Structure 1
Amino acid sequence: MNLTKRIFQLTALFAFFSLASCSTDIEPYEGGIPPSNQTDNSNPTNPSTTSVFKADFDGQTFTANTTQAIVNSNYMSITGTKTTGEFFQITIPGVAVGTYTMHSPTTSAMPFGLLYSPGSGNVPFLATDDQTGPFASFPSYVDTSEIVITNIDQVNKRIVGTFKFTGARFVGTSGTSIETKVFTSGVFNLPFTNDVPAPAGNSFTAKLNGNNFVPTNISGIKMSGMISLIGRRGNVENIGVVVQDNVTAGTTVNFTAFSSDARGQYVLNSTPQGVFGGDGTVTVTFHDTIAKRIKGTFSFHATSFFDPAVFDITAGTFDITYM
């Protein structure tokens, strides 16, 4: 398997895990800050009522229109998205005030993750260890990743911190050259939840290697031109299907791990070794874009670059109101 596919799997891990962990967004307001909370913008690292997610790169400041944050006993996950479809995803394998880098010791199965996606159809910029990661052989890549959590307010449910990193992505499919982008002055001051229940009335069923997969949380979210439909069992393990947000009823898509119009993935755990994806089929039988309700069936054969295990996902169905 080539390096491009390896990057795809690493990226998919963070994207799928984020969506499986949280299925809600703060309602978008101008500037990304609710009117009742437009205070203390001069010091966004100070715990207050400010809600903000921003970062600098390419001579401009990215300011999120919608955000989501999860803080529980296993990990912290933070996402900031613009209406253009651009988004940042931060995943932290710890739940404490302090500084986190690629080399921070951790006992969590959750990987340290920082990525920026220019939007649907674009390869994201991913931060990795410059000694052992997929970009380690390129002298031009120097890891500058740092996340500083300055406050976790468990009473008012707010998380505050700063971040920076250098992201990279492969140019073309040969894996012989990379493009880098430096992100600085990242700040966030956001409300968080421990987990978010999906809207009532959703259903998601499947068989995993012939055995019933019964999710404890079902979610659907529209982002960057795609709809992710996920059934999660426990904190991490999940089966997910992604389709285009303009897909119409009666459409059947045959997909691979690299398809842009549909994908399927099984996440066993929160490590690169635990992400499996591959060839399959999804059929949409109903889609109401106004009510944001979608129904269909799916199946796929999931494999991984890191693990010889094979997982067959069969008899999959979904009937979900997405957000």
Structure 2
Amino acid sequence: MSAEGGNKAVIAALLANTGIAITKFAAFALTGFASMLAEAIHSVADAGNQGLLLVGSKRSKREATEEHPFGFGRERYVYAFVVSIVLFSVGGLFALYEAYHKWHEIHAGHSSGLDGRWRLVPLFVLGIAIVLESLSFRTAIVETNKVRGKHTWAGFIRKAKAPELPVILLEDFAALVGLVVAFTSVSLALLTNNEYFDVVGAATIGVLLIVVAIVLATEVKSLLVGESASHESIARMRGAIEGTAGVSRIIHMKTLHVAPEELLVAVKIGIDESATAGDIATTIDTVELNLRAAEPMAHNVYIEPDVFHEDYVRDDRPKAPSAPSH
């Protein structure tokens, strides 16, 4: 998946969340609803996160250096992981703190009350926010459908190698659910004149954001540690290698995503014992050409020829010889 589709969804979400955050802060200033403040901070966190994703995308395009010979593609994973931390701390933990703070105020008899001419402002603001967030979520869905293939939504989030779309999908989903929760809690508080509904709303938003942040951190952590190519990609590469003249078999092959659209491929191929040096060189060159044609993401390819025997040690790293006795 190219980064353009992901960046389009990121920019749409950034614009939506910036506008939403401003209106939520204005509504909180007029009414004092904890749910509104929790949602305002949530929107600020989301907008900051989308800014981080754009920075990561830009920095990942830098040319490889001697110190970083495989480039900087993984910076997209690093910034996506930072997003999960921001969502957990700035979004989730702050919402829980605000819920506790509001509860303490009500319990101590220092509540700001629900009367006044601005009491319906939060519902108006939340309604607009739901519309804007829905448009952002729709953009993320459209861009995701272009690359999702046969994967389910959950499967796409687990298997995607580019982090932008999964991050935006999870953020927009959490934002929409949070807005519905805030709208419901504020409505109940206004109808019953009971501000504890506002406390419940803020706490629910906090728990929601923490859960989403944990899911996101788990998925991005796997990418940071290093994931292999997809099963479909591996099958294409194996077919290309095994179909090359002069290759008797694949002894072993390992793949690693060094960036969302870049693969490192290391393969040991079996060749005939009678092959000459020229034959081996030709076979290696042909394998590389066929492999790259089958999988364009294979940017870094390393091929090692070997003669396969039935008693071949399956461990790819032969044991070191034992130390001589004295």
TM-score range, shorter chain: under 0.3
Which one has more relative contact order, counting CA pairs under 8 Å at least 6 apart?
2
- What is the TM-score of this pair, normalised by structure 2? 0.23
Q: Which structure is larger by alpha-carbon Rg, 1 or 2? A: 2
| Structure with greater proportional helix content | 2
What is the TM-score normalised by the length of structure 1?
0.23
Higher strand share: 1
